[in-house]
Amino acid sequence: MLRIDTVSSAQNPKIKELLALQEKSRLRREKSLFVVEGRRETEHCLDNGFVPRTLFLCGEILAPDEMERLVKKAEALNHSCGIVQMPAFIYDKVAYRGGTEGVIAELETQEKKLSDLKLGEKPLIVVLEGVEKPGNLGAVLRSADAAGADAVIICDPLTDLWNPNLIRASIGAIFTTQVVAASSEEAIAFLKENKVRILTAQLQDSEWYYDTPMTDATAIVMGTEATGLTDAWREAADSHIKIPMLGQLDSLNVSVSAAILLYEAVRQRQTK
């Protein structure tokens, strides 16, 4: 039976640690813990095997049956998981946003390697190089989940994968999609070894994305809007692809580009 603690002050050490984990990437790395907020996101997290250390619950917001279900899922993954109940006035102080249904969880990080990826027969992989904005990363993860991509590889990441802003932007897709951080050199070697065709999104020396086959094992590689991809990816590519730009601007947000290219792959695979 899990032990249930009740806190009545925002100065409680458990609440202080929760806030520190939300705000400090260094502390998240040191403790191998991260924070997820919201019932839907927490359920995605638990359903995909992330081990909870503590659940923070607000009974004034979270329905009793939902609270019971979350506690049972947490107990199944960790018999010593802590359960902390708090009043709404404390929850409002520690929650990043309103309307998150009265649940915040501390969970153990999962650091996967390229060798841990489980790929299908003809995998569809997204590779992002140097994309640092949590909102963009989260949005790409949502598109990857929606399109059924096998994995997302983050190369030379400039952001913390367990950043609360990234988790919120992904709406839990970081838990439903295989996500790995690696160097560009490691990712290129992995894709070549697994005979995955590399398509780099770039303006130079490119063909239209819809004229490019994506039905076999495919990696769609994108960089930042400002600097694009490094030469390592351009030289490793099997094909360079581009999206028509019919206005005066020459680029789209990386998350929009990812959605367009992923769903082209889906279209081709469904009509083959």
Cα separations in angstroms, 135 against 165, 184, 193, 254, 261: 7, 22, 31, 11, 19
Domain ranges of the chain: 4-108, 114-271
What pLDDT does 100 receive?
65
H helical segments located in the chain: 13-23, 25-31, 39-47, 64-77, 88-94, 134-146, 164-170, 173-176, 184-193, 231-236, 254-271
Nearest-angstrom CA–CA distance, 264 and 260: 6
What pLDDT does 2 receive?
66
C-beta of residue 132 within 8 angstroms of C-beta of residue 161: no
- Residue 187 pLDDT grade (very low, low, confident, very high; cuts 50, 70, 90): very high
Whether the per-residue pLDDT at 137 is higher than 70: the answer is: yes
C-beta of residue 18 within 8 angstroms of C-beta of residue 146: no
What pLDDT does 99 receive?
61
The one-letter code for the residue type at 249 is: L
What pLDDT does 135 receive?
92
- Asked: is 4-108 a CATH 3.50.50.60 domain? The reply is no
**Mean pLDDT score across all residues of the chain:** 92
Whether the per-residue pLDDT at 29 is higher than 70: the answer is: yes
Residues in the chain: 272
Whether the per-residue pLDDT at 1 is higher than 60: the answer is: no
Given this chain, do its domains 4-108 and 114-271 carry the same CATH topology?
A: no
pLDDT above 90: percentage of residues in the chain:
79
Q: Tens of pLDDT along 76-121?
A: 999 999 999 999 999 998 988 766 689 999 999 998 899 999 999 9
What pLDDT does 111 receive?
86
Q: 114-271 adopts what CATH topology? A: Alpha/beta knot (3.40.1280)
Average of pLDDT values for 124-136? Answer: 92
Look up the pTM and report it. 0.91
Neighbours of 20 (CB within 10 A): 14
